[in-house]
Chain A
Amino acid sequence: MDLYEYQGKELLRSYDLETLPGIVAGTPEEAARAAETLGGTVAVKAQVLIGGRGKAGGIAVVHSAREAREAAERILGMDIRGHTVRRVYVEGGAEIEAEYYLSITVDRAAKRPLILFSTEGGVDIEEVAETKPEAIVRTHVDPLLGLLPYQVREIVFAAGLEGDAAKGVGRTLNNLYRAFEGLDASLVEINPLVLTKDGRVLTLDSKVTVDNSSLYRHTDIAELHDVEAADPQEQRAQEVGLQYVKLDGNVGILGNGAGLVMSTLDVVAQAGGEPANFCDVGGGADAEKISEALDIVTSNEQVESVLFNIFGGITRGDEVARGLLSAIERTGIGLPIVVRLDGTNAEEGRRILAENTPENVHTEETMLDAARRAVELARGARDSNGGR
């Protein structure tokens, strides 16, 4: 789960990371009031869950309440790479001496936290990695031991820091690692981390991603989930424990297991079709969950046909068949549905379907045939609808 800058900063403050004072605003008036409260030069920053807002014009440095209002008027509602700005963060200013980069991520290959620090902050770190890799200090942390004092010293010395900068960055490193652990984060990134002219080290921007699998033990963070930013169907799917992703085509896809679903998307594309969305019912879905999933997939108006691809392991074919039939009965879905059912209890599932096949349900033996059929039916539906 990605957090907005202002949410991330609030959490980081509780781990003693220093930030500038800031106020969230949802309207130009609120932004003006915030600028007045903070006083002096302030930054008006678009709150979006995607990078590149600076380049897109989503940050303005202003000197009065009037300017803050104007900037917020311009930035609120702005579209930044597909994300609508609905809030700005108005933040006090500071006199900056130097800009650093600091992040902690999960290194999948090493299976450990990885700290990246660079004195070349404020810019895209991937660019630094490419043009000046020696400017990045990389340190793996043993998750059972935690970040050790000598490692902090190594990082600070390797970066060539001294005095206030060395002390401040060292303190920040310790606090950020505590935050990374305590928040169950998969990423905490501060870019830039700044050294001010008066010797303080401040978190100027923050990116915090919390591991979704850990949210059960972070109910306060789970509540920060931005319902407005999510697609309504994605939101509904999440509430019932399904994985749903909206795409742009007209074939709705329902399957079990991430790999099979991704492969189904690929095969539909190879058959000349375009997936409208997909819903992964995961492992061990019962009839109720299957029924819910079908409902979510078909509630997307782009969908002209549904491809139902289940290869049961922990999921049982009879449950799948019952769920499918009950969803059709309950909601009266008339869209063509192509079913391909294999694996655990698949025979019983196929028998249940054969006994009660509604008119709009077609069964196919293989994944490839099922994909072709679904693409064909979607095309047919589109033609007969005059390309709705």
Chain B
Amino acid sequence: MAILVDDGTRLVVQGITGREGAFHTGRMLESGTNVVAGVTPGKGGQNHDGVPVFNTVHEAAEETGANASVIFVPPPFAADAIFESLDSGMKTICCITEGIPVHDMMRVADFIETKDATLIGPNCPGVLSPGKANVSIMPRDIFTPGKVGVVSRSGTLTYQIVNELTQRGIGQSTAVGIGGDPIIGTDFIEILGKFEEDPETDCVAMIGEIGGNAEQLAAEFVRSQMKTPVVAYIAGFTAPEGKTMGHAGAIVSGGESTAEAKSEALRGAGIRAATNPSEVAELVAEALGG
């Protein structure tokens, strides 16, 4: 099994004819993902890599039975693309776009509560269940099917950790990049809950970073709600206060948002907390062995 995306995923790519959309559609197809449609307003009727292109998501859903979307639309239009996806009945939406205004995302987050749908991101690498479906920009070669769930606020750091796991012969059930923005659709807790319910996830690696307090909230959830062992790593021990460290959400703005405070909270909740990516793989091996 896996979470969020699997063999039943019928994917529509919003922004399929753009530079990134086109490139990654090819890679998602190569991974065996069931990409049933693409959407680019004004380019309906075209074909891309054998995938039919539509003008609207509604049309794509009607014609192809799509149930999930991945968004490669530029920031000024990305929130609208999420609304379109939600109103067209998509159940899983991965928004890759970086740089969506916070106020736009607050409105999206509000609206999504009225829908039975899961938004991953924005500013995220997407979701990949090795051997089943790839709804992401993640390099699939580093993945191998297995029983470790990965959830992360960072994209490239996720690849780093998945790579370390694979090199140790440890496979993954699903890797989820939840995104590095201040407002994201799905938090650690919701993903941790899904992994807890997934019978084929035996251990979860959780990758956080400085800023906010999502990791502390997750630590409390792990302590009180989870039996599956969790290994964590927080990036940004050396980040200075008051500087935005690449992600809009990664800024030390008070005592509780530092890597140290977060690691401490995690350890306090009985979670194994690593200090660098290689150690994550070591601790996961340990957790699986014990």
Cβ of A388 under 8 Å from chain B: no
Tell me if A214 and B156 are in contact (CB < 8 A). Answer: no
Contacts A255-B156, A280-B246: A109 and B99 contacting too (C-beta < 8 A)?
no
Tell me if B163 and A342 are in contact (CB < 8 A). Answer: yes
Partner of B142, one of A126, A269, A282, A343: A343
Q: Considering the chains assembled together, what is the distance between the CA atoms of A282 and B152 in angstroms?
A: 16
List 11 extra interface pairs beyond A213-B102, A262-B250, CB under 8 A: A109-B213, A112-B110, A257-B156, A258-B247, A259-B154, A259-B155, A262-B210, A262-B246, A269-B238, A312-B139, A343-B139
Kindly report which residue of chain B lies nearest to residue A257, judged by CB atoms: B156
Chain A residues with CB under 8 Å of B205's CB are none
Cβ of B248 under 8 Å from chain A: yes
Cβ of B29 under 8 Å from chain A: no
Q: Considering the chains assembled together, what is the distance between the CA atoms of A262 and B207 in angstroms?
A: 12
Partner of B235, one of A266, A314, A342, A366: A266
Q: Considering the chains assembled together, what is the distance between the CA atoms of A247 and B110 in angstroms?
A: 38
Q: Considering the chains assembled together, what is the distance between the CA atoms of A111 and B113 in angstroms?
A: 11
Chain A residues with CB under 8 Å of B44's CB are none
Chain B residues with CB under 8 Å of A256's CB are 156
Q: Min CB distance, B158 to chain A, in Å?
A: 8
Contacts A256-B156, A258-B245, A368-B276: A313 and B137 contacting too (C-beta < 8 A)?
yes
Give chain A's interface secondary structure class: mixed
Interface positions, chain A 332-370, Cβ under 8 Å from B, are 342-344, 346, 366-368
Q: Considering the chains assembled together, what is the distance between the CA atoms of A213 and B179 in angstroms?
A: 15
Which A residues are within 8 Å of any B CB, using their own CB?
A: 50, 106, 108-109, 111-113, 126, 142-144, 181, 184, 186, 211-214, 216-217, 243, 245, 247, 255-263, 265-270, 275, 280, 282-284, 311-314, 342-344, 346, 366-368
Tell me if A184 and B101 are in contact (CB < 8 A). Answer: yes
Tell me if A275 and B246 are in contact (CB < 8 A). Answer: no
Contacts A214-B102, A311-B159: A260 and B154 contacting too (C-beta < 8 A)?
yes
Q: Min CB distance, B98 to chain A, in Å?
A: 6
Q: Considering the chains assembled together, what is the distance between the CA atoms of A258 and B191 in angstroms?
A: 21
Q: Min CB distance, B288 to chain A, in Å?
A: 22
Partner of B24, one of A112, A212, A314, A367: A314
28 contacts between A and B (CB under 8 A): A112-B109, A112-B110, A142-B110, A186-B102, A212-B244, A217-B76, A243-B245, A245-B240, A245-B244, A255-B156, A258-B245, A259-B180, A259-B207, A259-B209, A260-B156, A262-B245, A262-B246, A263-B154, A263-B276, A269-B237, A269-B238, A284-B19, A311-B159, A312-B139, A313-B139, A313-B159, A342-B160, A367-B278
Partner of A367, one of B109, B160, B250: B160
Q: Considering the chains assembled together, what is the distance between the CA atoms of A259 and B125 in angstroms?
A: 12
What per-residue 1/0 map shows which CB atoms of B68-108 lie under 8 Å from chain A? 00000001100000000000000000001011111101110
Chain B residues with CB under 8 Å of A311's CB are 139, 156, 159-160, 163
Q: Min CB distance, B119 to chain A, in Å?
A: 11
Chain A residues with CB under 8 Å of B249's CB are 108
Q: Considering the chains assembled together, what is the distance between the CA atoms of A126 and B256 in angstroms?
A: 13
Tell me if A216 and B182 are in contact (CB < 8 A). Answer: no
Q: Min CB distance, A181 to chain B, in Å?
A: 7
Chain A residues with CB under 8 Å of B243's CB are 245
Chain A residues with CB under 8 Å of B96's CB are 314
Interface positions, chain B 228-258, Cβ under 8 Å from A, are 233, 235-240, 242-250, 254
Kindly report which residue of chain A lies nearest to residue B180, judged by CB atoms: A258
Chain B residues with CB under 8 Å of A260's CB are 154-157, 159-160, 235
Chain A residues with CB under 8 Å of B240's CB are 245, 247
Kindly report which residue of chain B lies nearest to residue A271, judged by CB atoms: B276
Tell me if A144 and B110 are in contact (CB < 8 A). Answer: yes
Cβ of B217 under 8 Å from chain A: yes
Chain A residues with CB under 8 Å of B158's CB are 259
Q: Min CB distance, A345 to chain B, in Å?
A: 9
Tell me if A258 and B139 are in contact (CB < 8 A). Answer: no
Partner of A212, one of B103, B248, B254: B248
Q: Min CB distance, A144 to chain B, in Å?
A: 5
Tell me if B110 and A282 are in contact (CB < 8 A). Answer: no
Q: Min CB distance, B83 to chain A, in Å?
A: 11
Chain B residues with CB under 8 Å of A342's CB are 139, 142, 159-160, 163
Tell me if A111 and B183 are in contact (CB < 8 A). Answer: yes
Chain B residues with CB under 8 Å of A282's CB are 98, 246
Contacts A111-B183, A262-B245, A266-B237: A283 and B155 contacting too (C-beta < 8 A)?
yes
Q: Considering the chains assembled together, what is the distance between the CA atoms of A270 and B137 in angstroms?
A: 30
Chain B residues with CB under 8 Å of A113's CB are 106
Tell me if A258 and B278 are in contact (CB < 8 A). Answer: no
The residue in A214, A257, A311, A314 that gathers the most chain B C-beta atoms within 10 A of its C-beta is A314
Kindly report which residue of chain A lies nearest to residue B114, judged by CB atoms: A144
Chain A residues with CB under 8 Å of B15's CB are none
Kindly report which residue of chain B lies nearest to residue A145, judged by CB atoms: B110
Q: Min CB distance, B164 to chain A, in Å?
A: 9
Q: Considering the chains assembled together, what is the distance between the CA atoms of A100 and B137 in angstroms?
A: 49
Chain B residues with CB under 8 Å of A213's CB are 75, 99-102, 248
Kindly report which residue of chain A lies nearest to residue B72, judged by CB atoms: A314
Q: Considering the chains assembled together, what is the distance between the CA atoms of A346 and B163 in angstroms?
A: 13
Q: Considering the chains assembled together, what is the distance between the CA atoms of A243 and B245 in angstroms?
A: 8
Q: Considering the chains assembled together, what is the distance between the CA atoms of A126 and B253 in angstroms?
A: 12
